[in-house]
Amino acid sequence: MLADSLGCQLAVATSLINRGISSPDEAAAFLKPSLAHVRSPFLMKDVDRAVERILLAIRRGEKVLIFGDYDMDGITATAVLVEFLAYLDADVHYYIPNRLTEGYGLTRDHVEKHAMPDGISLIITVDCGITSFDAVSAARRAGIDVIITDHHETPPLMPEAFAVLNPKQPDCTSGFSWLAGVGVAFNLVIALRKRLRDEGFWNNRPEPNLKAACDLVALGTVADMVPLVEENRIYVKAGLEVLASDVRPGVNALLDVCNMLNRPLDTRDLAFKLAPRVNAAGRLTHGSIALRLLTTSNMETAHAIAKELNQENTRRQKIENRILSEIVQHLENNPELLEQRALVLDQEGWHQGVIGIVASRLVDRYYRPVVLIAVADGIGKGSARTPDGFDLYEGLKGCAQYLKKFGGHKAAAGITLRAEDIPAFRRDFEKIVCQKTTPEDFVPKLIIDGEISASDVSPELADELEALAPFGTGNQEPLFMLSDLDVLSARVVGAHHLQMRLRPSNSPKADQTRPFDAILFNAPAADCNPPPKRFHRIACHVRWNRWPPSAAGGLRPGGRDRKSIQLVIKDFLAARSDRIVENV
């Protein structure tokens, strides 16, 4: 039995088995992810060619351009390559396109108007390029080599680049298909360091410890919501350790504006605190602002940029909430739209930089594929999101005749089309969704790892569950069912969160069972006024809730975080029902 072999709680062993980890050896590797266990980057197709071309460029003193993307994944990938090549004394430059005026990806204009006049002889794309056929052809004609590093779904034919590093290529057998764009770029850096080590390059200068770049890899990987499995899990675990050391001024400044200094970080902090602020630059102004934040060594500069991004994030939230409110009102006024299995909505005046976030929020609310299209000057630029159960990229391929361009993943994509083609696209996309899915595919489900009793909730359980982190896509935080709990007290905190004290209903009055702290985030108003007096069962996470020992005065020297166990409720039943789906 796995629990006996590991000496762990049964609930933890069950959670491991639910994640496909059934042997003690697999569990040991999962519970203690190590950079020593990452596979060779040379398993990836074309890595050898890319390494040789980059080192040749450095030896010749050629100008190298890193062409990135404006989101967190692209910005961190750009930073990883720029920092490493600069350490090698390469003549390295970078370019982040403007989302609103230039759009996504390397284009012929970028080659002809920027790379050629600037004397660039090697372009390395990060988190983009896999569909940049015209740009690569223009570069070849100009004598510029292009190395593509990307992780998006691949077209049937590849651009004729000098090298293409994309683990999703059918003939790439590396097994790195889960990597984010920053993960692919990081593997290229690992390969460069290894080749230089073999050549004795590091005999004359300190060899860099690449763990120091894992903070960037973790930020980009978590923000892009790729599965936290295999190498991704290792990189994020290492990155969280680096982030805790406050070595990067830009990240330290971001934590300061988020009021998150002097506290441990987890993937939720990266996804919901840091990433939105970094992404705000690319959404509303220019992604190069965020790149400067992450690469500056000056703390004063870092704080100035962090404050700017914080303000931009606040502006982004206001725009996002306005668009979301408009759409929800429109759907309430036109309920027949919700009879469709997919939502395809378009509007002039929508901000192109935020509709992807709004689409994600609509997926959470209505649990179906959503495509939002911002229309300007007869052209629609859209963002598409979907819950599990539908392959978005394949669905868009079925509508390719209406799309000027598209690209992305199974769960997220971007499209460009003529405004006049939107009605036909909406019709055919709905048909494809109906053909590929059933109504049951879009019924929200809670996947329960197992049922636990009140006596199972203990410091030991909280500690062991914490060892399963980092949590995210592909490794969700374990969710458990607890039954028959009385609500001893309840109050609303932070305007929308219901904070409670719970105790097992069957505890005799004389029982000294310590009550549980519990919280229901973003509780609907109906659940707060009045709050439930008893839960028949709840679906919850079991976490440590930590806070600094002197919240008002800052950390004292040698001070340690205080902590208490908290149940984080995802769903509940005040009466008997079958709403919670169990997967024990």
> Is 21 found in the same domain as 128?
no
Confidence band of 367 (pLDDT split at 50, 70, 90): very high
Confidence band of 521 (pLDDT split at 50, 70, 90): very high
Alpha helices in 19-101 (DSSP H): 24-31, 47-60, 72-87
- Which pair of tokens denotes residue 500? 């409670």
Residue 99 pLDDT > 80: yes
Alpha carbon distance 234, 224 (integer Å): 16
Confidence band of 291 (pLDDT split at 50, 70, 90): very high
Confidence band of 556 (pLDDT split at 50, 70, 90): very low
Alpha carbon distance 120, 114 (integer Å): 8
Residue 528 pLDDT > 80: no
DSSP 447-510: -B-EE--GGG-SHHHHHHHHTTPSPBTTBPPP-EEEEEEEEEEEEEETTTEEEEEEEETT--TT
Residues paired with residue 565 on neighbouring β-strands, in sequence order? 544
Which of 207, 224, 243 marks a domain boundary? Answer: 243
> Is 178 found in the same domain as 160?
yes
Does 316 reside within a domain? no
| pLDDT score, position 575 | 60
Does 317 reside within a domain? no
| pLDDT score, position 42 | 98
- Write the burial class of residue 211 (CB in 10 Å: 0-12 exposed, 13-18 middle, 19+ buried): middle
Does 530 reside within a domain? yes
Cα maximum dimension of the chain: 85
> Is 54 found in the same domain as 15?
no
Residue 526 pLDDT > 60: yes
* pTM of the shown model: 0.91
| pLDDT score, position 548 | 63
CATH of the domain at 169: 3.90.1640.30
Residue 550 pLDDT > 70: no
> Is 208 found in the same domain as 63?
yes
Would residue 383 be called left, alpha or beta, if left means φ above 0 and alpha means ψ between -120 and 50 degrees?
beta
Which of 243, 261, 278 marks a domain boundary? Answer: 243
Does 581 reside within a domain? no
Q: What is the mean pLDDT of the chain?
A: 92
Confidence band of 1 (pLDDT split at 50, 70, 90): confident
> Is 366 found in the same domain as 498?
no
> Is 436 found in the same domain as 363?
yes
Other Cβ atoms less than 10 A from the Cβ of 553: the count is 9
Higher pLDDT, 444 or 378: 378
Confidence band of 161 (pLDDT split at 50, 70, 90): very high
Angle in degrees, CA 250, 253, 255, rounded to 5: 110
Instruction: Report how many domains make up the chain.
Output: 4
Residue 148 pLDDT > 60: yes
Residue 562: phi and psi, rounded to 5, are -90, 155
| pLDDT score, position 553 | 43
Does 533 reside within a domain? yes
| pLDDT score, position 495 | 73
Residue 423 pLDDT > 70: yes
Query: Which residues have C-beta within 8 Å of that of residue 252, sequence separation ≥ 6?
Result: 246, 261, 299, 302
Alpha carbon distance 391, 393 (integer Å): 6
- Specify whether the CB–CB gap between 455 and 507 falls below 8 A: no
Q: Which of 382, 386, 373 is nearest to 412 (CA)?
A: 386
Q: Which of 249, 395, 316 is nearest to 99 (CA)?
A: 316
Mean pLDDT of 128-136: 96
> Is 489 found in the same domain as 421?
no
Does 93 reside within a domain? yes
Distance (Å) of CA 161 to CA 102, 150, 545, 550:
22, 12, 50, 56
> Is 473 found in the same domain as 417?
no
Alpha carbon distance 521, 357 (integer Å): 19
| pLDDT score, position 557 | 42
Out of 104-113, 158-167, 260-269, 330-339, least confident range: 260-269
Q: Tens of pLDDT along 349-360?
A: 999 999 999 999
Please report the sign of the dihedral spanned by the C-alpha atoms of residue 397, residue 185, residue 253, residue 468. positive
> Is 86 found in the same domain as 235?
yes
Mean pLDDT of 574-578: 55
Alpha carbon distance 412, 408 (integer Å): 6
Residue 583 pLDDT > 60: no
| pLDDT score, position 100 | 84
pLDDT cut 70: percent of the chain above it: 94
| pLDDT score, position 414 | 94
What SS3 state is found at 51?
helix
Residue 283 pLDDT > 80: yes
Does 287 reside within a domain? no
| pLDDT score, position 257 | 94
Query: Which residues have C-beta within 8 Å of that of residue 543, sequence separation ≥ 6?
Result: 462, 465, 466, 565, 566, 567, 568
> Is 432 found in the same domain as 353?
yes
Confidence band of 561 (pLDDT split at 50, 70, 90): low
Domain that holds residue 95: 41-243
Out of 80-94, 140-154, 401-415, least confident range: 401-415
> Is 523 found in the same domain as 394?
no
- Specify whether the CB–CB gap between 425 and 402 falls below 8 A: yes
Would residue 484 be called left, alpha or beta, if left means φ above 0 and alpha means ψ between -120 and 50 degrees?
left
Higher pLDDT, 207 or 525: 207
Angle between helices 288-295 and 249-257 (to 10 degrees): 110
Mean pLDDT of 453-464: 94
Query: Which residues have C-beta within 8 Å of that of residue 209, sequence separation ≥ 6?
Result: none
What SS3 state is found at 539?
strand
Strand order in the sheet with 91-95: 91-95, 63-67, 120-126, 145-149, 163-165
Strands 163-165 vs 145-149: parallel, antiparallel or unpaired: parallel
pLDDT cut 90: percent of the chain above it: 81
| pLDDT score, position 244 | 87
Strands 516-520 vs 497-504: parallel, antiparallel or unpaired: antiparallel
Does 502 reside within a domain? yes
Which of 442, 469, 498 marks a domain boundary? Answer: 442
Cis peptide leading into 459, omega within 30 of 0?
A: no
| pLDDT score, position 180 | 97
Confidence band of 530 (pLDDT split at 50, 70, 90): confident
| pLDDT score, position 549 | 55
> Is 486 found in the same domain as 417?
no
